[in-house]
């Protein structure tokens, strides 16, 4: 990964999260993160960005990773989502693809899984910070 997914406001979430394809969300506050999670559930999969309300989304109804839209329509929507996420403070070129690999537990070093934060190099769970 070329850098951290940093936002100055809002949240982004998606159902593209390798390998298990659970929902993964990054955000600056719990309210916007909850908006993302609930919208993804309503869409039955997708990419969602939120700041005080759901700002925009791309529905991915097939297994939470595939769209029913045309390639052109999906490309246009992804470009819009990238612009909006950039306006929220994210400086990454491809925040959605980078988010999708945060949960891939076979790539070192720290990964987010359904069991919690894992140190892949040491094969152990990391206790949450309180």
Task: Please tell me whether the peptide bond between 109 and the residue prior to it is cis, using omega within 30 degrees of 0.
Answer: yes
Q: pLDDT tens for residues 58-116? A: 999 999 999 999 999 999 999 999 999 999 999 888 899 988 888 787 887 888 787 88
Tell me: the pLDDT tens digits for 8-62? 999 999 999 888 778 999 999 999 999 999 999 999 999 999 999 988 999 999 9
Which H/E stretch holds residue 112?
strand 110-113
In angstroms, the CA 59 to CA 19 distance is 20
How far is it, in rounded angstroms, from Cα 114 to Cα 29?
Answer: 21
Angle at alpha carbon of residue 88, lines to 115 and 103, rounded to 5°:
20
| 65, HSE (Cβ side, Cα atoms, 13 Å) | 11
**What per-residue confidence (pLDDT) applies to 4?**
61
């Amino acid at each position: 990964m070329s850098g951290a997914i940093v936002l100055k406001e809002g949240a982004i979430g998606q159902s593209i999260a390798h390998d298990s394809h659970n929902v993964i969300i990054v955000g600056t506050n719990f309210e916007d993160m909850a908006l993302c999670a609930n919208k993804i559930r309503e869409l039955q999969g997708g990419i969602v960005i939120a700041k005080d309300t759901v700002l925009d989304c791309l529905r991915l109804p097939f297994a939470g990773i595939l769209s029913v839209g045309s390639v052109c329509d999906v490309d246009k929507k992804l470009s819009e989502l990238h612009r909006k996420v950039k306006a929220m403070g994210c400086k990454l070129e491809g925040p959605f693809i980078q988010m999708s690999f945060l949960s891939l537990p076979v790539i070192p070093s720290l990964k987010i899984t359904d069991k919690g934060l894992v140190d892949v190099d040491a094969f152990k769970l990391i206790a949450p910070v309180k």
